[in-house]
Structure 1
């Protein structure tokens, strides 16, 4: 990772074409010295990304310092390019002099990093050991003085490659859990991933997340949606890192003037004006989480964020964004979820580096400006599921990987056929008349991983297209069909790689639903009013059926009883939820044999079933007493949690 980053930065320096009026010998000399120092680091004997002394108590911070220094250098160059190229005369001369001074300091830091690296090759003296120990308390080695219980976890944290540390830190930025998709998009935008030839950056981010989950540092909370949370010991370590203000800073108070050393800032907003304390220091990423009613219109100062890469705002109160947002030409990620915006400025078309535009769940947004079609590097467009006006011509955004919340209108389906790189597609207002053209467009998306189709309404008269001409793409892993189905199509039952399936308002029979147990890799199944059957029989879950199902959610106002689960069926089930099954009076016999079950939720709980499941004297408590976490909401909104 480190070697790749150094080489990438060398390429960045080589591609920095100086204009004639700024190609002074002094500036050229500083850039050349920086190149020479980086080449010296690459040519140093031994593996640039490892050390034989990582396991002892004298862990050196040289690798983390190198990564931090290179990021600072990149910010320095971005700031110079954004500032000096728009100046002339004495102002530009001053900017060049300041830029040379910063490059000189970066070169000095790299010289110190190289010296630290040399100490890892030769056995250090006592003085060197003391110096190394001191340096580890000011870099990526988290200072855990007074937190002895964190010491072994801090060592694990320090031994992580820098890109995994970055992933862990970013997951800890959020007040609560965060979704996997959101974290993936942010990691790609932040640019802290190790590039692999031929691999999509989103896949590399997924690999990093999975590695941290495998190491027990990230936990996946199973349920309606997979949510990620940093495990407590590592979360404390990440908070220590954040609060020290070294490269990443978290503002946990009302004063939102940013520490001078922060390139990533998190604000839990309490109503103050959001602006930098000094325009000299670049802020790369800004995360704002509202702690009350949101942020008033006049509480923004976008002119202070010239090189911002990530702007993530939640629950904002502002009704409009200033046109100056178009000046954030380095912006890669713009998140505006749960906003009060009624329009987005036309200047958004200036954001040529934008990768993600997330405007889900707005209160009153009316539409997108035509300028959105200028965003040629856009990879993820997340639209609200309440219909807004989208300009025609979306086919020009050929780099799109995610397109969600798009309401089908005349001409849109044909345009979709040009978006061959799509990996996630969600379409609203789909009907039978779209079947043929929609099938043809989807078949061109050979890398499609997730497909969601929704009808306008969820009554029996609102039919989803059968898509019979549709030959299921083997790449599809997630499928959501919301609307009445005229039977369960053969192509659904033949999707061997399907891992997640949601059927909503499908009006299918129990026999058709039972066919789903033969999907060999299905892990997550949601039946949301998908079946009108009053009774689920044991045919639904035979031995060998649902071999990998981990999460099963069923919502049905008709369901009275699930009679039986054959012993040996559902061998991987971990989460079972009955949602809106207000008439359910019996849990299945055989549930007691599902030893993998960790969570049972029943919302709401019928009084008769509540009596039979009680801890003391409940006749059917034997079915659930092995389950570690049980949550019931009765019709009287009482909660009973059994541990």
Structure 2
């Protein structure tokens, strides 16, 4: 892994050389000299890593012999995967080899009488138990048969899905209170409860524990340790740029499904993504993720409307491999099981679960990244420590954390590239935010509220993603025009009189790919007709508010793949304008049309894969010509 560290240093030196005009005389030569020496060292480190991999291969041979002697032929199936084959998402109907067990489980669940029944699915880690049970529980017949289903260990995930924090009373309830509460709710309902990763060893019987201990003492290696070693070989085979990206999954909780857009921005902020001419960093990072998926190191959790990976995770056994190697990049976990006082270098900190971490002991300036996950409470001193002590910090991720403010000390973090307070209670940013000239992502999205941004946002000229902000003044909207690097913008509470100012700002955002605009209310008109040259790279457009007529610049969006019109209340047949868009894949109209007839003409919407028409109260006739909507 040393080669990865050296390669990252080389990669970071290159941008400095480009800025030679800003460097003092003579410094450029020294940078080039250092870069050359590091390239020389890197070649030796690659050779050293190759030798280390040979040692691991010898271990693999021994493990193969152990596998042959200890496991039956039917228990293991070796499958060779060709990473050169283009990655294809596996739909439910394409998963093979589980049909017999799936149907058997479904029959047990649906056809048996309504009584308390326990069904156990057992097997070694990674054999597919969770996948099998998930396929069964997602089946329509099973879903219709039961009133509700519950995955233990995922209750807080449900609260997060509803954009709510889990009630604090849950932690304070006595066992009898919880039992009575659950019993009353489930009393008249059929339900299925899935216990995942439940291990019951020896039933607490002393004789069994002693016997199994004696058996294991005669074994050179435990099978699970052998499996971890085998899985480690996949890690060793990764190129240097993918190793760091893969290890970053260790910053998240086990079985944590991480949003791919979030993950990619975190990789970029950590400078794990190597620049290539003519390709954006996001595209390169997406390719990294696809490679990890192709190698079966990362699993797809959800896909979006075009079939691209929306969220992903690593298997719990892969997570063990990652955790065992986190120190290679100076990553540190602060959790209930690992309440450490960090005295060594900690480049990245992951603060997990209900921990009042001893962050006040961290006074060194080496920390570059902090992620806080699954924490019910964040004391003020933790926030102050994070923003006051770590002057070189690049990433601060507080998504879903119960905080209600960002300290003014954030303005001292000159190197900060990624700041997320998504799904928190933060309602206003400090004025010092305008000092963050290197900030690229500012994620403030929360479904219940918008965040007030002070004047000075125009100074954040490196900003690429800004969501979700309130258009509280024409001055603020005018400042947005200085953000020429924006790729994603989400702006809300736009007044009609400020629409023209926003159009002028949008025309300057030539890199913009995703745009969401909502008015102050459903009745407020979005005045956006005055934009003559819309961003040519725009792929996603969401408009929430009344439109007097469909915007004339929409037909110019040759790259747009997704359009959502909310409360537009158009009277003319807007489909005539939209049907010719060459790359439109997703269209949703919610109270977007008040006419009586919609006509899908022959040859229209040649690529559309998703169409949703909601609350179109005046519609009484829908005409679809032959040859229209070929993919629906």
Using the size of structure 2 for normalisation, the TM-score is: 0.61
Q: Do the aligned residues in 2 keep the contact of 1:171 with 1:229 (CA within 8 Å)?
A: no
Match of 1:9 in 2: 9
Q: Counterparts in 2 of 1:129-278, with a 5 A limit?
A: 131-134=55-58, 148-149=76-77, 152=80, 159-168=237-246, 170=248, 173=252, 175-197=255-277, 199-212=279-292, 219=300, 221-223=302-304, 228-230=310-312, 235=315, 238-243=318-323, 245-247=324-326, 263-265=330-332, 272=336, 275-278=339-342
Distance 1:236 1:150 in 2: 20
User: What is the Cα deviation at residue 313 of structure 1?
Assistant: 2.3
Q: Counterparts in 2 of 1:71-470, with a 5 A limit?
A: 110=45, 114-115=47-48, 117=50, 131-134=55-58, 148-149=76-77, 152=80, 159-168=237-246, 170=248, 173=252, 175-197=255-277, 199-212=279-292, 219=300, 221-223=302-304, 228-230=310-312, 235=315, 238-243=318-323, 245-247=324-326, 263-265=330-332, 272=336, 275-280=339-344, 282-288=345-351, 290=353, 295=354, 298-299=356-357, 301-304=359-362, 306=364, 307-314=366-373, 316=375, 317-318=377-378, 320=380, 321-325=382-386, 326-363=388-425, 365-385=426-446, 386-410=449-473, 411-458=475-522, 461-470=523-532
Distance 2:496 2:540 in 1: 22
User: What is the Cα deviation at residue 456 of structure 1?
Assistant: 0.8
Q: Do the aligned residues in 2 keep the contact of 1:171 with 1:230 (CA within 8 Å)?
A: no
User: What is the Cα deviation at residue 463 of structure 1?
Assistant: 0.4
User: What is the Cα deviation at residue 189 of structure 1?
Assistant: 2.2
Distance 1:494 1:284 in 2: 46
TM-aligned CA distance change 1:508 to 1:209, over 3 Å: farther
What are the ranges of 5 or more consecutive residues in structure 1 without an aligned counterpart? 16-31, 45-109, 121-127, 249-260, 574-643
User: What is the Cα deviation at residue 457 of structure 1?
Assistant: 0.9
Match of 2:539 in 1: 477
What are the ranges of 5 or more consecutive residues in structure 2 without an aligned counterpart? 17-32, 82-230
User: What is the Cα deviation at residue 349 of structure 1?
Assistant: 1.6
Q: Do the aligned residues in 2 keep the contact of 1:324 with 1:347 (CA within 8 Å)?
A: no
Q: Do the aligned residues in 2 keep the contact of 1:222 with 1:551 (CA within 8 Å)?
A: no
Give a deviation string over 1:302-331, Cα, whole Å, max 9, x none: 543843322222454336454222211232
Match of 1:558 in 2: 617
User: What is the Cα deviation at residue 552 of structure 1?
Assistant: 3.0
Distance 1:528 1:36 in 2: 60
Q: Do the aligned residues in 2 keep the contact of 1:377 with 1:399 (CA within 8 Å)?
A: yes
How many residues are treated as equivalent by the alignment?
Answer: 446
- Residue of 572, 591, 597 corresponding to 2:631: 572
User: What is the Cα deviation at residue 230 of structure 1?
Assistant: 4.4
TM-aligned CA distance change 1:246 to 1:452, over 3 Å: same
Q: Do the aligned residues in 1 keep the contact of 2:609 with 2:631 (CA within 8 Å)?
A: yes
SS for the counterpart of 1:518 is coil
User: What is the Cα deviation at residue 400 of structure 1?
Assistant: 0.6
Distance 2:309 2:330 in 1: 26
Distance 1:405 1:319 in 2: 25
Q: Do the aligned residues in 1 keep the contact of 2:462 with 2:483 (CA within 8 Å)?
A: yes
User: What is the Cα deviation at residue 205 of structure 1?
Assistant: 1.3
Distance 2:49 2:457 in 1: 52
Q: Counterparts in 2 of 1:522-537, with a 5 A limit?
A: 522-532=584-594, 537=598
Distance 1:302 1:568 in 2: 66
